[in-house]
Chains A and B, each alone.
Chain A
Amino acid sequence: MSEQKFYTISIYTENNIGLLNRISGIFQRRKMNIESLSVSASEIDDVYRFTLVVNITELQVQKVLGQIERQVEVIKAYYHTDEETIFTESALFKIKSSLLFDEPQIQNIIKESHARIVTVNSDFFVIEKSGKRSEIELVHRELKPFGIMQFVRSGRIAVTKTEMRISSKLKAIENEVEAAFAKA
């Protein structure tokens, strides 16, 4: 419980302007760094999903989760270790086009790392690499000597190996309320 680890926090929410501020504030209060953040649609219509990565202890993550779930527009939040999730990040490298022909090594790097070329024009080309942070960092290290015009990496996205019972939870809530309304 007292060992620091990377935890992926998945938060299912309603759409509301300002909710990101509310959630990030919970980490800010405790002076915790958010290592990565990604906001997207989820498997349920009109339900959004925040995916955060933090490097804290399990006790801390449990306390933070309680305070996240307390927010009115948060439907449910979960936390998982790296072992419990399938996760990936995505990176783009923008590189001068001339290098693609002058430096054959670049083609090898792309091939060996299973990266792919997204676009090529006369000035630059763009490599996309998805995978673990270490894999992206390796590509970055290898390409750096040739000159990277731009680099960007996304936050982690992750799905869990076990089921997150968010759909059934939502269904249960809906049913409960329907029943209550029917009674009233």
Chain B
Amino acid sequence: MDVKTIDIKDTKTTTMSGSEALVHCLVAEGADLIYGYPGGAIMPFYDELHKHQDKLRHVLTRHEQGATHAAQGFARVTGKVGVAVATSGPGATNLITGIADAQIDSTPMVCITGQVGSHLLGSDAFQETDIIGISTPVTKWNYQITRAEEIPEVLAKAFYIARSGRPGPVLIDITKDAQFAEFEFSYSKCEYIRSYTPVPQITETSLKEAAQLINTAKKPLIVWGQGVILGEAEKEFQDFVEKSGIPSAWTILGVSAIPTEHPLNVGMVGMHGNYAPNVLTNECDVLIAIGMRFDDRVTGSLDTYAKQAKVIHFEIDPAEINKNVYANVAVLGNSKESLSKILPLIEKREHTYWHQKFKDLYEIEYSKVIKNDITPTKEGLTMGEVVAQINKESNSEAIIVTDVGQHQMIGIRYASFNKSKSNITSGGLGTMGFALPAAIGAKMGAPDREVVAIIGDGGYQMTIQELGTILQTKAAVKIVVLNNEFLGMVRQWQQLFFDKRYASTDMVNPNFCKIAEAYDIEAQKVTKREDLAAAVHKMMASPDSFFLEVMVEKEDNVFPMIPTGASVSDIRLE
């Protein structure tokens, strides 16, 4: 390994065990809250955690997957590296879903796993799995430590890699003997790795070419993603949007970078995004992609995606350039720097005529979809009206955590955000069961903010055991289950594409309120519209965790919708 390090503080060299060193490394990296689950091969580390509780708080989740999602939720609201710990074997394999989720959604996370003693490696020992081999395709970096002496340098490298450039998950596997062994400890942060260029250099040429295209565009469209938030470029982005006057649409992970009510915000792109930005993607003359990766759920059919437009791609990861959509101009670099550098090069514009087109299409979407979603007149409750009620009660100040499925699309379509880092969801991987543990992590990362987890009745039961974590930690998470007694999104597809053959999507559910009450969480169930406002009010007014179950229309569909393989401009409103 070729790592150059600089001392950030004088750590006196002292003799200590590998596991004690691990605690000091985590503290030195600014971690004060970690999530995990103990077991045989990680016990020496837990013993040290017990001794150092004042410096490093450990939250016991009820499953290792919960630990990863909690660490993700924590990382997404704080911008810091989330940490999850597990033992070897099943403990380690249970982390994989969360690691894959963090990899595809670029969430900074360090996972630490215990491993059997180094003399047992490869022998099919009790609770041995090759977690390095298993985690390789879903980590940004991973490393197995077999000697205590390696711990400081490898941990420093792990945190540096997880948070720098395009963030991602790192897994460090530590054999039990390396945790026990004593060595001379000293710590210095990692600032450089020879083979690793986290942020590519911005070139003047690319900025000039981009500015020229932007200044001469008649019908430009911005699509921004999480890169704006990860790069902490919210202000630079808003300045860019306001000066250029360009209609700006967001991906599912980009939302909340600027306030939802911003006049230049034209909504979400993609499969269940808004009508105008999807249709007009195929009409714009310059498409400006900022910190997004042209996921297939965003683009629909690539053969018909924005073919008429010149594409400018602002991106930190060179591997994303031309991966799915050809970029006429690629502006490599981090979003904060690129956007602040291009600002003086662009001219002030209004694009009034072009904006009118977005407004006209919004009116169509409003009358055909939105109105019926958020102010329904039919008898059954809709998911949209619940979300609208939460917006109202929280003044758009809440962190909204969503799971995966219909409620997620509705939740993100209609949630209103005033602050950045407020939308926490599983975007790329689509991990059901994400929301409850992620909400716990989010609440601990932002204790002064209201955290509302909106979850479907299916996903809720995938990680429902984390109610135990709430019971033990008193994390004041507000849980809203939108219950349609179906795996709704799959059912919607079965209705539309499989002639209504509802194979294994109807759910016989337990009494969710009783379950919540068993965990000492106040619970309420709403079945009628007239009870909704009061129930949401009561939930938001509660200083503690609160469970709200809303029985919604069983067979509602999420529209608009771009069927798989169709073009963005063939988006269906019904």
Contact = CB atoms under 8 A, between A and B. Distances in A.
Nearest to B192: A177
Contacts of B140: 72
Contact of A14 (B132, B195, B317, B319): B195
A110 to B, nearest CB: 43
A67 B320 CA distance: 9
Contacts of A73: 195-196
Interface string B318-337: 11111100000000000000
B137 A29 contact: yes
B137 A25 contact: yes
Interface residues of B, number: 26
Nearest to B198: A72
A11 B194 CA distance: 15
A74 B317 CA distance: 15
A173 B201 CA distance: 12
A140 to B, nearest CB: 35
Interface stretch (B1-9, B210-218, B548-556): B1-9
A80 to B, nearest CB: 19
B362 interface: no
Contacts of B510: none
B6 A184 contact: yes
Given A177-B192, A181-B4, A70 B317 contact: yes
A13 to B, nearest CB: 7
B133 interface: yes
Interface string A81-98: 000000000000000000
B6 A181 contact: yes
Contacts of B2: 14, 46
A70 B4 contact: no
A73 B161 CA distance: 11
B136 A18 contact: yes
A132 interface: no
A135 interface: no
Contacts of B423: none
A21 B193 contact: no
Given A72-B161, A181-B6, A14 B1 contact: yes
A72 B136 CA distance: 12
9 contacts: A16-B1, A69-B319, A70-B317, A70-B318, A72-B161, A75-B195, A170-B194, A173-B197, A181-B6
Interface of B: 1-2, 4, 6, 132-133, 136-137, 140-142, 144, 161, 192-197, 317-323
